[in-house]
Amino acid sequence: MGTPEFAVPSLKALHESRHHIALVVTQPDRPKGRGRNVIPPPIKTIASNLNLPIIQPQSLKTKDFEDLVTGLKPDFITVVAFGQILTENILSFPRLGTINVHASLLPKYRGPAPINWAIINGEHETGVTTMLMEKELDTGDILLTAKEPITAQDTALDLHDRLSTIGAKLLVKTIEAFANDTIQPTPQDHSKATYAPMLNKTNGRLDWEKPAKTLELFIRGMTPWPGTFTFHENNRLKIFKARPVSKNLPESPGTVLASFPDELEIATGEGALSILEIQGPSGKRLAIKDFLHGYELKAGEMLK
């Protein structure tokens, strides 16, 4: 059971293992993009290419779905970023358990956006956890973990791609350990739990009152989606890459600072933020030098 790109390596790894995939369950095709064209989820595309049986139920709470899955008599259900809540009834279907691949070191960063928040919060390390699923969100017993450092250049996309590959290997390793009876589920310490809430485009507005380093982490954690932005007059400027600059400033946060013609530095609550990649009214993501050739920002003007 999985839907987005993050789940693709896990499906491929299971397919390449000695285990048999009886069914792939993914979300229905949905309209996406400006054209609102109906697009199949990545897992459907990969499963089709692998000639695997696929279903896309609108709801899991139907007798037809329950009869189909129970009829398969699965040893495991594996869940990787599926996108629907599984009922206790469904969790009871497999003989050995329902295994979830979660992109954090549980109990830290339970919830739907662990990769983003790990970067935003300035963590130096994250990872992947396999766990036995239960009714509550991301609270099940831990099976295996794999740690991964977060570098000073990582965006959410960079970390997403590495963790999806790590998660695939960890999932197969977890199932093998079950088969060999060499795995011991470990209860989570719920007192240490933190939550990574869902993000959307409205969350991406830059607050120039915050320190430059905080803003730089925020930009990396929100790139490529849902993205960060600010406004110059009525123009929405999307920020993709920036660098904090340590300096004491008298200017108010959000002020465009005097700098070289091919640089853009903005005063923040602590230090300045040098913008490196940006998108303006042209709709193209540009290096700041190229952007400033066609868009004028004068020292003293405000971004909000």
What pLDDT digit, counting tens, does each position of 163-201 carry? 999 999 999 999 999 888 999 999 999 999 999 999 999
pLDDT at 246 (0 to 100): 95
Domain 5-192 homologous superfamily, CATH: Formyl transferase, N-terminal domain (3.40.50.170)
Mean pLDDT on 39-49 = 97
Q: Please write the tens of the pLDDT for every residue from 226-282.
A: 999 999 999 999 999 999 999 999 999 999 998 898 999 999 999 999 999 999 988
pLDDT at 179 (0 to 100): 85
Within the chain, strands assigned E span 24-25, 30-32, 37-39, 54-55, 76-79, 97-102, 125-132, 142-149, 228-232, 235-245, 265-267, 272-279, 285-287
Q: DSSP string spanning 252-304?
A: PTTBBPP--TT--EEE-SBSEEEEEEEE-TT--EEEHHHHHHHS---TT-B--
pLDDT at 80 (0 to 100): 98
Mean pLDDT on 205-233 = 97
Q: Tell me the chain's radius of gyration from C-alpha atoms.
A: 23
Question: Two tokens at 1?
Answer: 């059971």
Question: Within the chain, which residue ranges are assigned CATH 3.40.50.170?
Answer: 5-192
Are 210 and 268 spatial neighbours (Cβ–Cβ below 8 Å)? yes
User: What CATH number is given for 201-294 in this structure?
Assistant: 3.10.25.10
pTM value > 0.75? yes
Mean pLDDT on 138-153 = 97
Question: Within the chain, which residue ranges are assigned CATH 3.10.25.10?
Answer: 201-294
Q: Please write the tens of the pLDDT for every residue from 95-142.
A: 999 999 999 999 999 999 999 999 999 999 999 999 999 989 999 999
Q: Give the Cα separation of 5 and 80 in Å (integer).
A: 10
